[in-house]
């Protein structure tokens, strides 16, 4: 009897997911004689049993270059599905669907939260293999996640276009990019597009340092600046205040972490506040462009299609070998896998000794703090 495998896409959307679905379906059916069914709309489809047959050749035809996902996706996870009385744990319904279809394995193409949900399902005895997708590249254990290269290219092009209008109008242009816990997208796109200031979550910025960097440019005749800022970048004074407030209301480290997360939710629109302070301090007209989900759409780059295809083929191989409870990944350019328990609930911040951080200072980019404060050589 052929191995029967289910596949779903969960969490935030990313370019290149269809390439992964196509790659897995073709490898699983063509090389390993597996039967493949899909579940529509992420984990919701698994919980509610919205299955669809992917065995027909037409199901995987013509989707390599398409953005989005033919299976649909959802941000809802089995452990916290919406219900009239609040979030409900419907893990058992997901497990029941898995067994109802007599699945031998379930492949999940998902973001950071979806990886954690996959790990919890594996704890229920399900044979799980996952692939990482994240436009902001915040999933640990892999060099790149599906969608990051495409998102970075879109963001770079956007900043490139704003460069011309910033130059012509003598303005400060702030470009806000997705990135709650990690600044890979903002730093990568900012460096590629020649941003003058790059602000990321890993480095709480100081207003005075940013202001002085822009004033210095103004003094030498550069009456414009490009500022790439991650949506969760925060000033040092705000971070210190929130940390103090969280500690004051908490008894344990776990309580402090949850309280800090709650407090952070009350301090959105920090990019708007930054824009106002920069305009007041520099006298330069300031504008904000929020790219948001724009970077998640459109045609995936060739690099993302290639990565997705590689991860998909490797995932099919993992299923055939019975290597479950793991995420397919690429490490140092080679295909590999990592235990889900090693990445579940974790993020992938940019290390301070990363070459991009050092390179930014080398080419004169302001990261919101003095270089010496990060322990980097001057």
Q: What's the confidence (pLDDT) of residue 1?
A: 60
Phi, psi at 364, each rounded to 5°? 90, 15
d(CA 260, CA 28): 44
Alpha helices in 1-42 (DSSP H): 17-31
What Rg, from alpha-carbon coordinates, does the chain have? 22
Q: Mean per-residue pLDDT for 61-84?
A: 93
Q: Which of 13, 41, 136, 196 is catalytic?
A: 136
Residue owning tokens 């044979």: 127
Contact 131, 107 (CB under 8 A): yes
20-41 burial, b if ≥16 CB within 10 A, otherwise e? bbbbbbbbbbeeeebbbbbbbb
- Verify whether residue 136 is a known catalytic residue: yes
Distance of CA 48 to the CA centre of its chain: 26
Distance, CA of 165 to CA of 52 (rounded, Å): 48
Which pLDDT band, with edges at 50, 70 and 90, does 90 fall under? very high
- What percent of the chain is helix, strand and coil (3-state, nearest 5)? 45, 15, 35
What gap in Å lies between CA 59 and CA 72, rounded to an integer? 14
Please tell me the pTM assigned to this model.
0.92
pLDDT tens, residue by residue, 9-60: 999 999 999 999 999 999 999 899 999 999 999 999 999 999 999 987 778 8
| 213-251 confidence digits (pLDDT tens) | 999 999 998 989 999 999 999 989 888 877 877 777 777
Residue 268: its pLDDT value, please?
A: 66
Please report the domains of the chain, with CATH numbers, ordered by start residue: 4-147+300-343 (3.40.50.450), 149-296+351-374 (3.40.50.460)
């Amino acid at each position: 009897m052929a191995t029967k495998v289910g596949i779903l896409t969960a969490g935030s959307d990313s370019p290149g997911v269809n390439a992964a679905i196509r790659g897995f379906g073709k490898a699983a059916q063509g090389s390993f004689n597996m039967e493949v069914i899909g579940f529509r709309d992420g984990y919701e489809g698994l919980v509610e049993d919205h299955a669809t047959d992917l065995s027909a050749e037409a199901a995987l035809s013509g989707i390599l270059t398409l953005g989005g996902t033919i299976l649909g996706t959802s941000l809802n996870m089995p452990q916290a599905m919406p219900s009239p009385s609040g979030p409900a744990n419907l893990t058992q319904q997901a497990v029941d669907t898995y067994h109802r279809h007599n699945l031998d394995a379930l492949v999940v193409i998902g973001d950071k939260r979806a990886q954690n949900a996959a790990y919890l399902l594996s704890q229920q005895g399900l044979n799980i293999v996952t692939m990482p997708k994240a436009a902001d590249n915040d999933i640990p254990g892999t060099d790149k996640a599906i969608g990051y290269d495409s998102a970075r290219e879109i963001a770079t092009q956007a900043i490139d276009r704003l460069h011309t209008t910033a130059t012509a109008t003598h303005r400060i242009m702030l470009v806000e990019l997705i990135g709650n816990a990690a600044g890979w997208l903002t730093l990568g796109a900012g460096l590629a597009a020649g941003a003058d200031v790059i602000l990321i979550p890993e480095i709480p910025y100081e207003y005075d340092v940013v202001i002085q960097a822009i004033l210095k440019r103004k003094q030498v005749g550069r009456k414009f600046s490009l500022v790439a800022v991650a949506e969760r970048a925060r000033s040092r004074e705000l971070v210190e205040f929130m940390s103090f407030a969280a500690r004051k209301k908490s008894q344990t480290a776990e309580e402090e972490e949850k309280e800090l997360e709650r407090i952070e939710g009350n301090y959105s629109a920090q990019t708007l506040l930054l824009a106002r302070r920069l305009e007041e301090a520099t006298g330069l007209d300031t504008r904000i462009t929020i790219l948001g989900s724009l970077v998640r759409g459109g045609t995936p780059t060739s690099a993302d299609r290639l990565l997705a295809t590689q991860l998909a083929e490797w995932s099919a191989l993992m299923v055939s070998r019975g290597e479950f409870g793991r995420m397919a990944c690429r490490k140092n350019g080679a295909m590999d896998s990592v235990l889900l328990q090693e990445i579940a609930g974790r993020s992938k911040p940019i290390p301070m000794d990363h070459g991009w951080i050092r390179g930014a200072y080398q080419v004169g980019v302001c990261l919101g703090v003095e270089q010496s404060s990060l322990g980097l050589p001057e």
